[in-house]
Structure 1
Amino acid sequence: MSITEQPNDSFAGHSSPARKEPVVDDVALRILSVLRNNGRISMAALAERVNVSRASVYNRVDQMTKSGVITGFSANIDPGAVGLGICALVFVTVHPQSWNRFRAGVMQIPDIEYCAITTGEHDAMLLIRSVDIGDVHDFVTGVIAARPEVKSVVSVVVLDEVIRRNTVLPSDIPDRSSESRRLGMTRFTTAGTGRDGITTR
């Protein structure tokens, strides 16, 4: 099951990323917490788990689906069990003025499980899976590095996926405000020219 929020458009100057107003209340968060781990649960069982009426649960799930808080229901698949035992992260630097072509291009490549435009040294990060290391090499050199928009590529093989959560909800995150005040401000590296307006849809 995939549950996401709409992404921020950009970083606001040199400050931390803008915080969004919550789009769901405590009851909705309890519903989402159950659904992210069991998208096939019945409305009756879900209502019992979150301690609200069945009609209320049905209406809330329907509303969150229509509003885009819940983006869909799907099976969680173990990549290794279907033969994709190798996971790699590919960090890409893109030539200036090539962002739209790069973004449109990677969206058409079925090998890519995840792509994010990033701040910092590299411009984008791709997550790919393959049968063996040779396939990773073929993908990086023959598909990504071969694209005219790409300036350079760095790839790393993932040795162990320690945590793979379906979705982190606001209710999962503990309050660390006092710790942040003790440690001082965190500096975020802003996006390079052309990257700050790129978002996924």
Structure 2
Amino acid sequence: MSSTEAERARDSGRSATPLDAVSYRILELLRENGRISIAALAEKVGISRANAYARVEALVNDGVISGFSARVDPARAGLSIGAMIFVTVHPQAWASFRAQIAEMPDIEYCAVTTGEHDAMLLIRATDVSGVHEFSTGVIAQLPEVRTVVSVVVLDEVIRRPYLLPTDLPERSLEVPLGMTRWTPASAGRNTLPPR
């Protein structure tokens, strides 16, 4: 695979090389402790240090590992309120909306979604008035935005740094699925260039 093909595969969300059980084990261990030494990682996985180093480098180069960082508890760091802001965007304003929110440090996470709203933003604030000021005074004021709905997070029950395919249990679909409403993406939402 050429480097251009590898970049395209990485940017599309697929790994450039298929992952094996050893790679998944490395990712599991790094999820638990991103500061683990290569020697300790190699010992826990049962491979040589040189192999562990080469595999971690390959995972980084293939874009499977996109970076290393500390996990911070937002409440203990002073941002005790979390909120999800659901936004409906004017159909022809996606590129501008995306450019605007990419510059906003208040936003921890943004996802384009299906359903009633077009995007979901996760924000943090020191108090509820900060959520109100940001959602109504900043987001709702953007000309690209049609509607805004804010939901304060009461408790974050699960927050994992990432999931792996090995984490997902096999499930039988013998039990009928509940009612799910699926709304396809509107024109222009699925053709935005990656950030």
Does the alignment reach a TM-score above 0.5?
A: yes
- The 5 Å alignment of 1:42-121 reads 42-121=37-116
Q: TM-score, normalized by length of structure 1?
A: 0.85
* Residues 20 and 57 of structure 1: CA distance in aligned 2, closer, same or farther (over 3 Å): closer
| 1:172 alignment partner in structure 2 | 167
For the residue of structure 2 that corresponds to 1:155, the secondary structure is strand
Q: Contact conserved, 1:117 with 1:198, CA < 8 A, in 2?
A: no
The structure showing larger relative contact order (alpha-carbon pairs under 8 Å, at least 6 residues apart) is 1
Aligned residue among 20, 25, 32 for 1:25 = 20
Question: Offset of 1:7 from its aligned partner?
Answer: 5.3
| 1:161 alignment partner in structure 2 | 156
Aligned residue among 110, 124, 128 for 1:129 = 124
Comparing 183-192 with 61-70, which one deviates more in the overlay? Answer: 183-192
Which digits, 9 at most, give the CA deviation of each residue in 1:139-176, with x for residues without a partner?
00111001000000000000000000011100000111
| 1:190 alignment partner in structure 2 | 184
Which digits, 9 at most, give the CA deviation of each residue in 1:165-197, with x for residues without a partner?
011100000111xx2254269764311222122
For the residue of structure 1 that corresponds to 2:132, the secondary structure is helix
Residues matched between the structures, number: 185
Query: Which whole-Å CA distance do the structure 1 matches of 2:173 and 2:11 have between them?
Result: 26
Query: Which whole-Å CA distance do the structure 2 matches of 1:136 and 1:187 have between them?
Result: 29
| Structure with the larger helix share | 2
Q: Contact conserved, 1:7 with 1:199, CA < 8 A, in 2?
A: no
Structure 2: which 5+ runs fail to align? 1-9
For the residue of structure 1 that corresponds to 2:192, the secondary structure is coil
Query: Which whole-Å CA distance do the structure 1 matches of 2:185 and 2:113 have between them?
Result: 7
Structure 1: which 5+ runs fail to align? 9-18
